Structure 1
Amino acid sequence: MTASSPLLDWQDGQPVSTRFGDVYFSRDSGLDETHHVFLAHNRLAERWAALPADGRFVLGETGFGTGLNVLCAWQLWRRCAPAGARLHVISTEKYPIPPEQLARALALWPELAEFSQALLAQYAALGPGWHRFSFDEGAVTLTLLVGDALDTLPQLDAASSAVDAWFLDGFAPARNPELWSPALFAQLARLSAPGASYATFTSAGVVKRGLAEAGFSVRRVAGFGSKRHMLCGELAAPPAPAWRAPWFAWPRHTGQRRALVLGGGIAGAAAAAALARRGWAVTLLEQKAALADGASGNAQGVLHTKLSPHLTPLTRLLLSGYAYSLRQLPRQLRAGEDWDACGIVQQSFDADEAQRHAGLAALGLPEALLRPVDAAQASALAGVALPHGGLWFAQGGWVHPPAWVRQLAATPGVTVCCGADIVALEHDGEQWQARAADGRQWQAPVVVAANAHQAGQFSQLAHLPIKPIRGQVSHAPATEASLALRAVVCGESYISPARHGRHCFGATFRFQAEQLAVTTEEHQENLDKLAALSPDVWRRLGGEALSAQALDGRSGWRATTPDYLPLVGPVADAAAFADVYPAPERCGPRQPGPDAPWLPGLYVSLAHGSRGLVTAPLAGELLAAMLNHEPAPLPQPLLDALHPNRFLWRAQKRRHAPGRA
């Protein structure tokens, strides 16, 4: 039992939290309670019917529980909202229910079967952090914040979240007082749009007083079932906006929804698809003759999540990105052909790695996400003998990146232009002009640079500290014996189960390389690493008889940054930044500072390194959400950690640090 387990029991066929000694929904009828309390007293039907065709509405919820409220809201949205409008749900949950228990709970409501099945198809064991779900071709999104609400809600960006209606549905105040505290009510007010409504099943005095003190009006009305009264109201006195570091802001796009995306790999295709799903006209410009001809062109890529037990920003990004990618793959690619959730063994190949793995195992993450295994267990899972134990990622596996890129680029609204070698990027005061080496030109008000280290050729992006690192993977023909390998095995290198009769393994890292030609030397390095990773697999592939000269493979550039985090977000004018913020440490609530000198409509999704299959799809969703002024799929501290301005800000702070001239 992990620390995040909900401690759920069943009484008379209904789920009950033994941790809090309370029911998840009314014993009289949870479905009718949801309609009476949350839908009716937030006046959702009439408010949604009055939305414009391109309108948006944000629901906030404290206590996801079984998801019943969200599914009922989704059903009502389908019935009332105009085509083209988008519903965004932000819900918190400290103790997410395991998938099998959630399925049992939702089976109580056959009238919601279509919605329940869609949720369950994307729902898996949830680790801590932000989890993004998408339904009805993107018309409905759910951002599920797993963790204590008093930790997660303060990390929401108030400007983009702006909740229009709240469902206050935690366990009863007497059972779970933390979820009905003044600090919680203050967060609700901070995150509310002007005039935001709320409804809750309880009429407890502590809730009435807390809501009123936070600036909400409070009305006591008839409750549902055995509850005589409930509360509802609106935000009557909004709090003053909290200070936000202007250099980490996201400028609001209000122009035409047209964009150029530079780069036809996973980062560019993901950004293009996410924008197109929101009605944008996107032109995807790829330098090479075909999509996914760079680092995204490998035959097999691993959904690799090398995590830190200290839950660093990179680890938090990987946890959210890993879960997001795993939700997309079953809906977008053919299982067994273009991807395979075969599982991943990460071996503890030395003392440092064993210590890191022990720290991760101690975090109490769901076992379906990762669990420790000894060498015998790891070998049984992989189907071959392994020299070390480690961690088992049951949900992980391999992907054929070109298929994923092509599928994303085929999203309606995306126009693909290959052979478009962009050599100049200029802004004419209204739009960006992208000119190719052959003279062709494209223009749009928004540009997303997703072309890895090649983005540095443009003067507007030359300040970004992107370093290319060459890597080479090797391919070996499968043998009858090697086909026993049934999981990805990682250590100081990796090998995947066979696809189309070939194993993919490697990969090398060359920090000073200038050429991309595949070399026999690096094939031999990959073979040597394979022999250490699993002598058994090495022997099954031929052992000493397997010659480096006989292998084929592929090389490419990985792009990374000094802090190993991607660059995702809007771009400022680097030359003007120092003048606008001569002393950034002096900016704050009392001296807010001016807006950053943004280059209008210029955004990046760059430097995903060797983790692009995990980080780039979520980065595309992040860019599209923020360009459409929607709730972000990541917490504000992570938005800041990924922001392209972080290096300008750090340089300016160092320049004015004590002791410097």
Structure 2
Amino acid sequence: MRPDVADSECIGPARVRVEGDSPYSLDYQDIYHSADAEREVERVFIGPCGLTEAVRQPGTLWVGELGFGSGLNFAVLAALCMQHNRPLHLVSCDAAPLHPQTFADIAQKRSKRLPIYAELAQAYPPLIQGWHRRHLAGGLITLSLYWGDAQSALAHLSTHAGRRFHAWFLDGFAPDRNTGMWAPELMTKLGAVCAPNATVATFTSAGRVRRALDAAGFAMRRVDQRPHKRESLAGIYRATGQAPARQGPRQATVVGAGLAGACVARALAERAVAVQVLEAGDAAAGGASSIPLSMLHGRLLADGSSEARLRCHAYLYSSHRLRTLGILPDTGALQVPAGNMTSQRLRDLAEHYGPTGSWLQPLDRLEGQQRMGWALEHDSLWFPDSQGLDMPSLCKRLLDHAGIEFIPNTPVDAIATPTEHPLILAAASASTHFPATRYLELSDVHGQVDMVTMETPPLASLLGNGYVTPGQTPRTAAVGSTYEYTPWDASRATEANLQRLPESQRAGAQSIGHARATRCVSSDRLPVVGDVYDQNHVCVPNVHVLTALGSMGNVYSHYAGEVLASQICGEFPPADESISEAWSSLRFRRRQARRGYRLGAQP
């Protein structure tokens, strides 16, 4: 593995000493907060920013923060918002976050005073660079964390978020010890995403910080903090002539009621958008989403590519999103060497991602056997949050929202474009049945999953040559899935699936039924998510696409739905530019200008 891969994607944790629930930075030789921690948050940040009154106002409260630390500012503010039923979206970045285990230890000690810590500890992301979005308190509280430097985070916000932030907490270590976080250009970027009359507060009262904030458009004042310290700083954003943040639509239409369509519809409905979901069939969960048992697993890569980042972030978000829907991992999954995923590549994955948290764990052969209940030939990787999923039930659960109207028996050909409100095409390969999307290079791949009876059913899911996941009834398992460019006879597919079982488990295994479906894939096997473009590479207004999720629909759908809903509603997407470019449909327009059209695509 190249040294720069780990350097660019996985980041090191903060070096701290923890006494009780109070961390102390060994790198900056500074405390994270004073002894009266929660009261300090109220007198330094919440009070001076005027948030005690703001939480009584309607709409989502947007608060930014530099320096997430131990999450204390977030937890105190979230408790206040929950008390007044005010939706909160807090956006925070940290270049050296606490290790997940350190955070869990601190959270356990604080959860009695601030109960949201118990939920936050479970949702706390591993140390993977980039954006991590989490939904807490039944969706009332949204937390977007950026692990990495503040300059990169604010550059992304200034490009995508618009001027929507109502308040900022500047909570880095002292300016003379952490100079980069207090740079004047950073304060200017911060001002660029502030709504009119936004507030800012910081523990420091250093003159150069006050001058930098003044220059960025804030009218600063000193706040008396005696007897705790002499003073802190607070201010109001007074710059004028700036356009307000773009507001989201009131309604939207989604074409397709499979998992992709259900995920983006739910993400829009949770933003108070009235969504109509149009489905050609007479029920939701057609196509690949009709498979009764599929497997949630990231099929990770460790090569530093955009696809590797996409798979990692999609898996982490989807694992969390399922928990918010009440779908908890019941078995976990083992990944064993098979095909291109050699033993060495599995070791590379463990070396690459292992230090970031416990979301994947290397196991030796005997440890894997205990998890699986089967004899294994090799060491493995354990993914505690992976699981088998009932796809039709999941689709129905996602569509069960007061803001979603499901309309079946609506042929794709009967849908007109363009529309006055957003139209999201999530109809697999049928998404190309519109003039604006004929350039998409999509095709169908057929597949089959078999339900089998077994002498010794698995205790956990297994990913190797395909997947095996515990069945919904005793002594059964689901085995799949075939990858058929042209449809096979069902008996041939069944035989292929039985061969996916470990050799020690094939004796006595018998198929008792199967499910067949088609997956939509693109010419480069990456998903297609986002805007639609004409031949001049200009966005087609109000038309978006979410398709070609291939064999990873249950991983990509949740993440893609959240990213696309964010973009449609004028929010910033929790995806960096490398991911956005990798799955953008603009890639086809650019390639077609060089080498022509493939898979039946048209101008």
1:74 partnered with 2:15:
no
Provide the secondary structure at the position in 2 that maps to 1:97.
coil
Equivalent residue runs for 1:128-167 within 5 Å = 128-156=129-157, 158-160=159-161, 162=163, 163-167=165-169
Q: What whole-Å deviation, never above 9, does each CA across 1:35-55 have from its counterpart, x for those lacking one?
A: 111112222234454x5x4x4
> Residue 369 of structure 2 aligns to a residue in which SS?
helix
Number of the residue aligned with 1:499: 472
Deviation at 1:187, TM superposition (A): 3.6
Q: Answer yes or no: is 1:603 the counterpart of 2:544.
A: yes
Q: Which moved more, 1:179-188 or 1:106-115?
A: 106-115
- Partner of residue 619 from structure 1, selected from 560, 582, 586: 560
CA distance, structure 1, for counterparts of residue 232 and residue 448 of structure 2: 63
Residue 266 of structure 1 and its aligned partner are, at CA, apart by: 0.8
Choose the corresponding residue for 2:18, options 10, 33, 47: 10
> How does the TM-score come out when normalised to structure 1?
0.80
Find the residue that maps to 1:134 and give its secondary structure: strand
Q: SS where residue 143 of structure 1 aligns?
A: strand
CA distance in 2, matches of 1:457, 1:150: 42
Where do residues 168-187 of structure 1 align in structure 2 (5 Å cutoff)?
168-182=170-184, 184-187=186-189
TM-superposed deviation, 1:190: 4.1
RMSD, aligned α-carbons = 3.1
In 2, the alpha carbon distance for the partners of 1:89 and 1:285 equals 33
Structure 1's unaligned 5+ residue stretches are: 242-250, 432-444, 582-595, 656-661
Sort the Cα spacing of 1:221 and 1:253 in 2 relative to 1 into closer, same or farther, 3 A: closer
* Deviation, structure 1 residue 651: 3.5
CA drift at 1:69: 0.8
Q: Mark the CA change 1:555 to 1:238 in structure 2 (over 3 Å): closer, same or farther.
A: farther
> Of 418, 432, 453, which residue of structure 2 is paired with 1:456?
432
User: Which residue number corresponds to residue 538 of structure 1?
Assistant: 506
CA-CA distance at 1:467 after TM superposition: 2.0
* Cα deviation 1:461-491 (Å, max 9, x = unaligned): 2211122111222221133xx23x2222112
- Distance in 1 (alpha carbons) for counterparts of 2:363 and 2:240: 52
8 Å contact 2:160–2:573 — kept in the other structure?
Answer: no
Question: Against the structure 1 CA distance between its residues 13 and 632, is the aligned structure 2 distance closer, same or farther, given a 3 Å change threshold?
Answer: closer
State whether residues 369 and 375 of structure 2, in contact with CA within 8 Å, keep that contact through their aligned partners in structure 1.
yes
Alignment of 1:112-131 (within 5 A): 112-123=113-124, 125=126, 127-131=128-132
1:221-268 alpha-carbon deviations (Å, 9 max, x no partner): 323654322222344569999xxxxxxxxx96765x222221111111
- For 1:459-474, list aligned pairs within 5 A: 459-474=435-450
| CA deviation string 1:590-649 (max 9, x = no partner) | xxxxxx352x32222111111111111122222222222223222244233333333224
551-560 or 127-136, which moves further after superposition?
A: 127-136
2:459 to 477, 486, 496: 486
Is the aligned partner of 1:38 residue 2:45?
Answer: yes
Corresponding residue number in structure 1 for 2:601: none
Give the superposition deviation at 1:200.
0.8
CA contact (8 A) 1:523 1:551 kept: no
SS in 2 for 1:38: helix
Matched, 1:89 2:90: yes
Deviation at 1:216, TM superposition (A): 4.4
Which runs of no fewer than 5 residues in structure 2 stay unpaired? Answer: 1-9, 597-603
What residue in structure 2 maps to residue 25 of structure 1? 33
What are the superposed Cα offsets for residues 379-400 of structure 1, whole Å, 9 maximum, x if unpaired? 2332211222232222222221
Q: State the Cα distance separating 1:34 from its structure 2 match.
A: 0.7
Of residues 408, 413, 424, the one that matches 2:403 is: 413
1:210/1:311 CA distance change after superposition, 3 Å: farther
- What's 1:363 paired with? 352
1:206, 1:377 → 2: CA distance? 56
- The number of residue pairs the alignment matches comes to 583
Distance 1:23 1:218 in 2: 25
Distance in 1 of aligned mates of 2:124 and 2:286: 33
> Is the contact between residue 158 and residue 190 of structure 1 (CA under 8 Å) also seen in structure 2?
no
Alignment of 1:192-341 (within 5 A): 192-212=194-214, 214=216, 216-223=218-225, 226-235=228-237, 257-333=250-326, 335=328, 340-341=329-330
Change in Cα spacing, 1:145 to 1:181, as seen in structure 2 (3 Å) is same
Equivalence for 2:492: 521
Q: Deviations over 1:480-508 (max 9, x none)?
A: xx23x222211232211232232111211
Amino acid in structure 1 at the alignment position of 2:139: G
Corresponding position of 2:531: 570
TM-score by length of 2: 0.87
In 1, are the aligned partners of 2:334 and 2:460 still within 8 Å (CA)? yes
